[in-house]
Chain A
Amino acid sequence: MLRVRNLKCFYGRIMAVKGVSLSVNAGEIICLIGANGAGKTTLLSAVCGLLPTWTGEIEFEGQSLKGLDPPAVVRRGISLVPEGRMIFPPLSVMDNLRLGAYTMYKKKAAEAVEQDLESVMTLFPILRERSDQPAGTLSGGEQQMLAIARALMARPGLLLLDEPSMGLAPMIVEKIMEVLEVLRSRGLTIVLVEQNALAALEAADRGYVFETGAVLLQGSADELLADKDVKRAYLGKDYGDFYDAV
């Protein structure tokens, strides 16, 4: 569904992603894990058209995304849940959701938008309760749910999430991962960027481990969960074992 080949991304003269290749099949949950500055967010920005300075190939459903601006990418069926949620605080929850459907008008979709509103509010009942409140008054977890719901309003085929667990209680993280599972069962393909590697790998089918702009490791989620280096570096487990083994 999404295929990235030899992607290099630049901020001015600095290369933040140094030749990454990866592929996402329809119906998969893929996670990208790695520390700060590994290039995960940069990669998502390149896919979404937010960062135009990249070389290499990004293909979505067989068509190149080169040169597309963000609205065009959204219309192709890729939605981003941005890092730090980036909801619109003074606007009501309802207005935030309707904004998510901004690209839908061309598809003559007034009815579809109402249906989608109903469906995301069933997915996140709290949003229905809070629909008239300014989005800024929501708690962190609720804002994250709003950000996901807003992205769904554009009816994407591929959903990209950038650190959805950031700053949230473990229970909320678990809830959000459950929702992703539900969405996948409805046919959505998901790419999850996370520093919370354990939560991400438990939800994902496959994963890529990033380090300083390159893919260090890739494999099924189970393999990565069992991998010694991943354990040491990202899961904070078996640290002692690792040292003993050396």
Chain B
Amino acid sequence: MTLKEPLRDSPVAGTLSTFIVPGLMLFLLFVILPVLFAAYVSFFRWNGLGGVPTEFVGLENFQALLKDEVFLGDLWRLGLIVVLSLLVQLPLSFGLAMLLHQRFPGRTAFRLLFFVPYVLTEAVTAVLFRLVFSPRRGFADSLLGSLGIDAQIGWLSDRNIIMFVVFGILTWKFFGFHMILFLAGRQNIPDELYEAAAIDGATRGQAFRNITLPLMGPTARMIVFLSVIGAVQLFDLVYVLTGGGPFHASETLAITMYEQGFQRNQIGYASALSIAMFLISLVFALLYQRYVLNRDLQGSITASGGTRS
């Protein structure tokens, strides 16, 4: 029991519960209960019909997961997306943020424009790109055709390139968001630091290496965190774009869960998968907080003041 404030702040229990109960009910019923239920069902073989699950199978669902090539493939593709994001998307959005931090006419317009894809609904974006990459009247093919390249590229049907197409679309959708976060981080670096460096005779390059890069660290680490958590949960865009195909070549954890649960009625197995998703995010979040974000939270200059309490 922690009572830091004096007791006069303590209201009668009735008043207090009117403030808390509605939201708490909602939260328990639609967040906590489902998550506990998923954890429980993951130990059963169950088709979701006819009352409560009865066929207890212990860890069998989890053991099956570790042998499931689709699940292992999902993990591999998750890793691929994360690595590509770190190598391509992050530097791209960082570079653009540095660019738009400079004063030149029209930069506000560019900033607004680059954020537009992030505002659009993922599912709608996916429909749009399905048409861009459609084998019939697709814009991508026409564009290449006008350049004299009449290649029959199966953008969405070639399993060797599908993940790169998906990644390209993810970049289109999310670089603007990351750029805005970087831009906010850059604007939080006090100008005095650069003035002091200039007085000490530092070149622009030296100032960039020794001031900008280290002080953008917290923002970059936060963006990496958001990207990984987002990649674990990726569903809408890929499901609408390809349905996980061709032959699972673009499937994600959430799509496999959806297929197993809602299309094959393997509720127990799908629940085990969803618990695995949860554990992946949780373990990543804990390790990341412990080893990577930890020092940011203690540092004096942090991303955006969002680290109170």
Q: Do A and B come from one complex?
A: no
Chain A interfacial positions (CB closer than 8 Å to B): none
Chain B interfacial positions (CB closer than 8 Å to A): none
